[in-house]
Structure formats: structure tokens, C-alpha cells
């Protein structure tokens, strides 16, 4: 099958879904690979490196879409790309379907086979690790006086105290942020709803961090004394409440910093609105907010290398074994199947957009087999089933 690697066109996106290493591996498996010109340029992979790996360089996205049966990129499909999709094409990218109904409709209308990459990671996405680590550094930059922050140095100076930081969420993103901030000398409190997660983190850091159960009451009590908050919570979509309200933000000292790495509309933070690398910060209630939706794009080389390595096994399994067999062998890939030839196969999207759906194992005809298990990607549930 012809494989197409697209150049991402989302504003501020500098990553590429496959480096020349992955391209060479796919070609070794017998699949011709087409790479759009300049797809990896900003990530440090010029066209010559792809050509040397054996790729065919395509001048335009249109050539990729018209030539390739399997297409991959990093971020969501933009409206300009919808009409380029072809029936029965396999597409793999971060669709974020529950939050993008128009994109979902386009995938259904075009009858493609679509995988949403963010649900396919068994050990957490490298992009989450990148967002947590780089987000922590962006928060420190936002703390600088010249950026509107209160001007505290992370570990303090002789006679001057360091920063107190609250990390909301102890998952992959929160743990990545913690590793950076703790290494730089900040005093960190991690809030999470799992006592097991908190106990593990305390043991890992030898009791040199604070932990607390994540509740609005606990967060409210702590906010006036912290210098920086990092929101790393995977907030349930459709939850109309806030973990951090505007009033709570107002209680923080002027020049404090909030970094919303989770970046959810109607998410955990009431004062959130999305920003870009070109204009990354705004001030609400005297607090500097850093809410860039694509933090990993700032370290495009490292994130491209890590991310491409993590998704290559999925690519190879789909291409070498077929969609049904690949989904039977890997439950995380199966749960990431979003659309299949006109049928919605993503439970969270069904629940939040009130669309009927069919389970991937049913539409693929593998429900009677012993399947690799995987937990649901989110807490959203839907019984709005399509009868096949």
C-alpha cells in the first residue's frame, strides 16, 4: 500500500509524523512511501534525508491524497483538507473527535477508516511527556518580570525563597512537569484524585514533594500561597463545572502564573482560552496565563523523533496485517478507531455529540475472537448503538 506523510498545516505546528528512520522501515516492509515536500523541514529533517531513505517526494498534499491508501499527519484535519479525503483511505492523526463535530462529519461523509492517534498509546503519548516538560519551562518563562510575572527564580537565590508550584493531575503530563520543576529546585505540590498515584510519587521523590487529593476545596485553600499552577488534568468532556473558578484565580497573588497544558475548552479552568506560540500569554484577574494549544511544537525535533518511534508499530501492523487483525492484536489501537467506512466507532464522540456508534470489534467482525484488552479511553459512555 502507498503510504503518505503529510506536511501539517495547523498554525504553529512544526512536527512531522514520521522521520526518515520510520520511512526507511516502512519501505523495507515493501510499502512505497510518499512524503510531502518540506513536511519535516521545521523539525530538522530536510527533504534530502527522506529521499535518501527511499521516499518519493510529493510536491503537494493533493498528490499525497490522490496517490496513497494510508495517510498520516500529526494534528487534526483542517477544513481545507476534507474534500481531499478518499473513500476507504486509512488515516492516522490526532483527530480529537469529541471536540470536533465538523471534522467527524467529514470523516463519515468521506467513508474513510480513521484512527485518532491520541487514544492509541499504551504507555502514554510522547507528546504528553513533551507538553509537560516544555510546559513547565514555558511557565518559568512566564514568571519572568519582563513577561508580566512576579519575577521569582525557580529555586530561589541566597536570601530569597524559590517558587511554590501546584500541579493539577499526576498522570503522564503532570509527572513530566514534576520531573523538570523538581530537578530545578521548585517546591511542588501534586494534586490528584488517586491516592495510589500520590503515594507512588511521594515514594519516587523520597518525600521531597507534597501531595493532596484534588478537590475544589483543597485547591482553593492552597492557591493564595502558590506562585504557579500547571493544569494537567484530563477533564471529562461535557462536565460544565470548573476545578479552578475565576474567583479562585482572583485569590492568587498578582503576577502568579497559570499554565493550562490540558487546553480544554469548558475544561478545569474557568479563565482559560486558547493561545498560540505567536501570542502565548494573557492576563486574567492579575494572573499571567500561558495557554498554548501546541506546546510540543516548540521542540519539534525531539517530539517528532519520540512520537514517530511510538506510532511506527501501529503503522506497520495496520499495513502488514490489515485493519481488522491490527485492531484484534492491540486493544489501544482498536479503541482509537474513530470512523469506519461511514460508521462512527468512537464511544466518547457518540456520547458527547449524540451520534449513534458501533463498537470497532463489531464493525470489523472480530467480536468473537480473543482480543487484546484495553481500558476505555475516557469515562464517557454511550449506549446509542447502530444496529448492523
- At 337-377, the pLDDT tens digits run 999 999 999 999 999 999 999 999 999 999 999 999 999 99
Instruction: List pLDDT tens digits, range 43-57.
Output: 999 999 999 999 999
DSSP characters for 2-60?
A: -EEEPPP-STT----S--HHHHHHHHHTT--EEEETTTTGGGT--HHHHHHHTPEEESS
DSSP characters for 45-73?
A: --HHHHHHHTPEEESSHHHHHHH-SEEE-
Whether the CB-CB separation of 33 and 52 falls below 8 Å is answered with: no
- Residue 265's pLDDT is what? 81
What's the rounded mean pLDDT across residues 191-214?
A: 97
pLDDT, mean over the chain: 96
Q: What gap in Å lies between CA 386 and CA 293, rounded to an integer?
A: 34
Of 81, 54, 46, 44, which is closest to residue 66 (Cα–Cα)?
81
Residue 310 clears pLDDT 90, i.e. is over it: yes
Please, what are the domains in the chain? Answer: 3-124+299-364 (3.40.50.720), 128-290 (3.40.50.720)
Helix axes 300-321, 126-142, angle to 10 degrees: 160
To the query of whether residue 227 is one of the catalytic residues in this protein, the response is: no
Instruction: List pLDDT tens digits, range 242-293.
Output: 999 999 999 999 999 999 999 888 889 999 999 999 999 999 999 999 999 8
Query: How far is residue 293 from each of residues 235, 263, 265, 290, measured CA to CA in Å?
Result: 15, 6, 11, 9
Q: What gap in Å lies between CA 162 and CA 158, rounded to an integer?
A: 10
Whether the CB-CB separation of 40 and 50 falls below 8 Å is answered with: yes
To the query of whether residue 264 is one of the catalytic residues in this protein, the response is: yes
Share of the chain above pLDDT 70, in %: 100
Q: Which of 8, 31, 96, 346 is catalytic?
A: 96
- Residue 223's pLDDT is what? 98
Instruction: List pLDDT tens digits, range 122-140.
Output: 998 999 999 999 999 999 9
Helix axes 300-321, 20-28, angle to 10 degrees: 10
Instruction: List pLDDT tens digits, range 127-173.
Output: 999 999 999 999 999 999 999 999 999 999 999 999 999 999 999 99
- Residue 267's pLDDT is what? 86
Q: What gap in Å lies between CA 143 and CA 153, rounded to an integer?
A: 8
Specify the pTM: 0.90
- Residue 235's pLDDT is what? 85
What's the rounded mean pLDDT across residues 110-130?
A: 95
- Residue 245's pLDDT is what? 96
Weakest mean pLDDT among 58-67, 232-241, 247-256, 315-324: 232-241
Q: What gap in Å lies between CA 328 and CA 365, rounded to an integer?
A: 10
Task: Give the pLDDT band (50/70/90) at residue 195.
Answer: very high
Q: What gap in Å lies between CA 328 and CA 334, rounded to an integer?
A: 7
- Residue 266's pLDDT is what? 82
Q: Which of 8, 260, 264, 330 is catalytic?
A: 264
Of 4, 199, 222, which is closest to residue 92 (Cα–Cα)?
4
Task: Give the pLDDT band (50/70/90) at residue 25.
Answer: very high
Of 372, 281, 377, 387, which is closest to residue 324 (Cα–Cα)?
372
Residue 238 clears pLDDT 80, i.e. is over it: no
Of 90, 94, 98, 77, which is closest to residue 9 (Cα–Cα)?
77
Amino acid at each position: 500500500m502507498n503510504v503518505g506523510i503529510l506536511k501539517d498545516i495547523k498554525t504553529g505546528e512544526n512536527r512531522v509524523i514520521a522521520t526518515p528512520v520510520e520511512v526507511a522501515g516502512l519501505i523495507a516492509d515493501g510499502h512505497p512511501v510518499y512524503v510531502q515536500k518540506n513536511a519535516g523541514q521545521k523539525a530538522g529533517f530536510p527533504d534530502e534525508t527522506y529521499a535518501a531513505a527511499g521516499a518519493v517526494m510529493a510536491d503537494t498534499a493533493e498528490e499525497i491524497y490522490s496517490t496513497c491508501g494510508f495517510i498520516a499527519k500529526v494534528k487534526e484535519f483542517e477544513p481545507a483538507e476534507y474534500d481531499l479525503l478518499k473513500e476507504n483511505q486509512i488515516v492516522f492523526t490526532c483527530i480529537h473527535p469529541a471536540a470536533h463535530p465538523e471534522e467527524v462529519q467529514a470523516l463519515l461523509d468521506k467513508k474513510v477508516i480513521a484512527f485518532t492517534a491520541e487514544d492509541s498509546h499504551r504507555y502514554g503519548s510522547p507528546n504528553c511527556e513533551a507538553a509537560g516538560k516544555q510546559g513547565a519551562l514555558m511557565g518559568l518563562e512566564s514568571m519572568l518580570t519582563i513577561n508580566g510575572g512576579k519575577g521569582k527564580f525557580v529555586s530561589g537565590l541566597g536570601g530569597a525563597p524559590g517558587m511554590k508550584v501546584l500541579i493539577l493531575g499526576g498522570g503522564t503530563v503532570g509527572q513530566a512537569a514534576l520531573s523538570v520543576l523538581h530537578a530545578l529546585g521548585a517546591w511542588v505540590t501534586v494534586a490528584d484524585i488517586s491516592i495510589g498515584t500520590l503515594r507512588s510519587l511521594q515514594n519516587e521523590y523520597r518525600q521531597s514533594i507534597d501531595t493532596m487529593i484534588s478537590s475544589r476545596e483543597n485547591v482553593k485553600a492552597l492557591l493564595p500561597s502558590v506562585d504557579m499552577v500547571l493544569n494537567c488534568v484530563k477533564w471529562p468532556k461535557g462536565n460544565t463545572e470548573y476545578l479552578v473558578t475565576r474567583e479562585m484565580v482572583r485569590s492568587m497573588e498578582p503576577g502568579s502564573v497559570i499554565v493550562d497544558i490540558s487546553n480544554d475548552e469548558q475544561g478545569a479552568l474557568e479563565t482559560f482560552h486558547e493561545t498560540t506560540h505567536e501570542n502565548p500569554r494573557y492576563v486574567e484577574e492579575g494572573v499571567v496565563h500561558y495557554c498554548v494549544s501546541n506546546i510540543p511544537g516548540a521542540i519539534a525535533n525531539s517530539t517528532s523523533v519520540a512520537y514517530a518511534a511510538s506510532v511506527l508499530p501501529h503503522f506497520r501492523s495496520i499495513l502488514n496485517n490489515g485493519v481488522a487483525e491490527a485492531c484484534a492484536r492491540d486493544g489501544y489501537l482498536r479503541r482509537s478507531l474513530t470512523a469506519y467506512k461511514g460508521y462512527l466507532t468512537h464511544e466518547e464522540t457518540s456520547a458527547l455529540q449524540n451520534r449513534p456508534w458501533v463498537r470497532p470489534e463489531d464493525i470489523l467482525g472480530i467480536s468473537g475472537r480473543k482480543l487484546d484488552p484495553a481500558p476505555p479511553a475516557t469515562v464517557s459512555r454511550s449506549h446509542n448503538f447502530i444496529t448492523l
